[in-house]
Structure formats: structure tokens, C-alpha cells
Amino acid sequence: MACALAPNWPVFPVFRLICSINASGVIAVVGGLYADVFGDTVIRGRAMAIFMASTTCGPTLAPTMSGFVSVVNWRWTLWVGLIAAGTSMVLFVFLPETYGPAILKKRAERMRNETGSPKIFARSELDKKGAKQMATVTLMRPLHMIAYEAIFLFTCLYPSIACVIFFLFFEAYTLSFEGIYHMNTGVAGLAFLPILVGSIIALAIFTYYDGVLQRIKKADAHWASIEEYRRLPLACFGGPLYVISFFWLGWTASPNIHWIAPMLVGVPFGTAFMIIFMALLNYITDAYEVFAASGMSATSMCRSISGALLPLAAQPMYRTLGIARASSLLGFLSPAMCIIPFAFIKYGDRIRANSRFCQELTVRRGKNRRRRNIKYWRVREMIIQLTSLRLMGSEIIDEVQYALQEFA
């Protein structure tokens, strides 16, 4: 709303900065949120895929909407965004807390109020958190992971470059459909809709591959249990498809070729773009679990910075080199990024073995497993004692024993 009401240009970037800072938090916490909610990696992966496919709705629908609305007034583009944001904010009112330590802290506070006992507390309350903890953990952890975790570094690099090229296509589409085919801004915005179709196809491919993978895992194939083989083969498929789309656009955007040819490039481009994101971000979530939120914020930061700065060179590049040569240049540079998922498949397990964060996850899993075993045997011993003393009815005993089996 502030952007729509900005009285002059110097005020406008300030409001845009505030808007982007607040909007970035939503994307940053999604990986951690899904890791909290979905313990099953299959369900979590599909939920992440649906989320990522839905994120393309904004960039693909916005050019069409703004193209027609901005003819009335440029501020109406921002008013439409405000309406969409205000509508979605209603859903946040009903969104519950998902972070485990925060839930336990609230539960401990409620129990202290009910019982009056100050001895009830959550583990997270023992940790002293303040400005120092905020600076060293919350803010520095994403930067630390980029600097010292090879997986995070290259997973940030690949989607960042993919995101840059995605926004470069905005300029290429404008020059192609408005400059070559003489379409107005609103009609030229319709050219982005095939990208949305490609994202839906990517979601279907991801779901199909995931189903095949689960069937292979049930057949006890060893490779299906390796983290790198669960997600990354899709990125290996998406990379070359991404490269093809650049040459397709570059050498079909011509007055002598029908406009449908360059417009259809959005289908393979959207498919490749989304499959790369689905594969790499799901790989981070599966491999780093509770640290996924830091990883997602790191990748989001890199994508946002590169996506904001590098496209500034798009118009000079395309006007100097032309649509064909500029798109071909991107096509020739992109294969270097295609190597990343192949390298992760070959060396990813060794990289994770030397990762401090992955080692910490292994320690946590071991502690949770030991706690689970201790609780199991304590409950089992209690049931045996109660049964021998005939203090429980037979129906209750059956129910408790059944629950114990499920717990084990």
C-alpha cells in the first residue's frame, strides 16, 4: 500500500525495500516449516513441489495483469498486488505454530500456569537467547553454511543463475513480442503463460518420478535409499532442457517465423526451471532437515540479490547483441551449471560425511533413538507390573499393548 501511495521516486525504493524484507521471510521458512510438519520424506517432497510450482503463478500472471491494468494507471499494478497480499494474509490467522521447541515452550508455560509449579520448563527455555544469539546463529548461520558447506554454496549458485536467467527472459520477451511482433504490453504478457504450463508439467513429472522411486525402494534397491538419488536425477534432466530453451527462443524470435514458435519456448523453459528448483531445494530439505530453514534463507538471499542486480544488464545486452546472439550466449554459459547435480550424485555422500551440520544431525538422530528405546522399555515394564497386579482391565491392557507396538 505504501508503494502505491508513494508521492515521489526517492520514497518509492525505500518502501520497496521494506516490502521485500518482509516478503522474503515467507520463502525462507518454508523448508523448515515442511520439515516440521511432514516427517515422511515422500509427503514432504510432494508438498514442497506443490509449493514451488505455485510460486510461478506470480511471475507468470503478473506481466499479463500489469500489462492490462497499468494502461489505466501504474499505481493500479500495486493495488492489485495489495489485494492479492491482503487476501492471502487471512490464511495466516489460522496457521498454527509448527516449530517443535516453540510448541514445547508454550505447553510448559500453560502447565506452569495450571499447576503453579515453577519447575516445569521446556528445554529451549534453558538456552539464553538475545542479541548475540540472533547475530551469531540466526543471521550468521546462512552465511556460514554458504562459506563452509559445498552443497549449500553450489545449490545457491545454480538456482541463483537460473533465477537471473528467468528474469532476463522478461526483457527478452518484451523485446521479442513487443519489438518484433508489435504486440501491446497486455497481449505480450500472455507469452508468460506457457511458463506456468511448464511448471505444472514439472510438478506432474516430479510426482510420477517420486511414485516410481517409492516402488523401487519397496523392492529394496540400495541406490533408492541414498539421499542424492532421491531428488537430483530430476535436476540432471532439467539442466539440458534449460539450455535448449535458450537456443529455441534465440533462433525462433524472427519476423519470418510465427509468434507461436518463440512463445511455446515457455513450456520447456518452465518445466526445466521448476524441476531444477524442486530437485535441489528438496535435496537440501532432506539432507539438512532442521537446518533447512537456514539453507532456504541462504538460497533465497542469493536468488534475490542476483535476480535484482544482474537483469539490469539485460536490456543493454539484448539491444547490443540481438535476441538470437544474447540468448545463445546464455545457452553457451549454462552447461557449466548443469554439472552441479551430476557432481552431487557422485560426491554428495562424501561431502555430507564431512559436513559439521550433517554430523550434528547424526548425533541428534542417535540421541532421539536412544530416548525412544528408553521410553519404550519403561512403558513396557510398567504394563507388565500393572498386569501382574491386576490393576488394569483386560480391554485397557489390550489397547495399551497395541499402542506400545505402534510406538515401537
Q: What pLDDT, in 10s, does the model give residues 345-366?
A: 888 778 777 777 666 666 665 6
Task: Cell numbers for 1, please give them.
Answer: 500500500
What band does 295 get if pLDDT is binned at 50, 70 and 90? low
> Which of 105-119, 206-220, 374-388 has the lowest average pLDDT?
374-388
pTM listed for this prediction: 0.74
Q: Is the pLDDT of residue 210 over 70?
A: yes
Comparison of pLDDT for 189 and 124, the residue scoring more = 189
What band does 383 get if pLDDT is binned at 50, 70 and 90? low
Task: Cell numbers for 37, please give them.
Answer: 510438519
Q: Supply the pLDDT for residue 125.
A: 64
Taken in order 384, 386, 391, 397, is the CA torsion positive or negative? negative
Rounded mean pLDDT, 39-61: 80
Give 186-247 as a DSSP string: HHHHGGGHHHHHHHHHHHHHHHHHHHHHHHHHHTT-GGGGSHHHHHHHHHHHHHHHHHHHHH
Q: Supply the pLDDT for residue 42.
A: 78
> Which of 166-175, 182-191, 380-389 has the lowest average pLDDT?
380-389
What band does 392 get if pLDDT is binned at 50, 70 and 90? very low
- Of 243, 236, 271, nearest to 341 (Cα)? 236
Task: Cell numbers for 5, please give them.
Answer: 501511495
Q: Is 181 helix (H, G, I), strand (E, B) or coil?
A: coil
CA 235 and chain centroid, separation: 14
CA 74 and chain centroid, separation: 31
Task: Cell numbers for 168, please give them.
Answer: 532476463
Say how far apart CA 141 and CA 121 lie, in whole Å. 27
Q: What pLDDT, in 10s, does the model give residues 128-179?
A: 666 666 666 667 777 777 777 777 788 778 878 887 877 787 778 888 888 8
Q: Among all chains, which residue has been given the C-alpha cell 510465427? A: 258
Q: Is the pLDDT of residue 58 over 70?
A: yes
Q: Supply the pLDDT for residue 369.
A: 58
Q: Among all chains, which residue has been given the C-alpha cell 495399551? A: 400
Say how far apart CA 10 and CA 74 lie, in whole Å. 17
Q: What pLDDT, in 10s, does the model give residues 223-243?
A: 777 777 777 888 888 888 888
Every domain of the chain and the residues it spans: 11-85+129-354, 98-127, 370-408
Q: Is the pLDDT of residue 398 over 70?
A: no
Q: Does the 11-85+129-354 domain belong in CATH 1.20.1250.20? A: yes
What band does 382 get if pLDDT is binned at 50, 70 and 90? low
Say how far apart CA 200 and CA 196 lie, in whole Å. 6
Rounded mean pLDDT, 309-322: 79
- The total number of residues written for the chain in this structure: 408
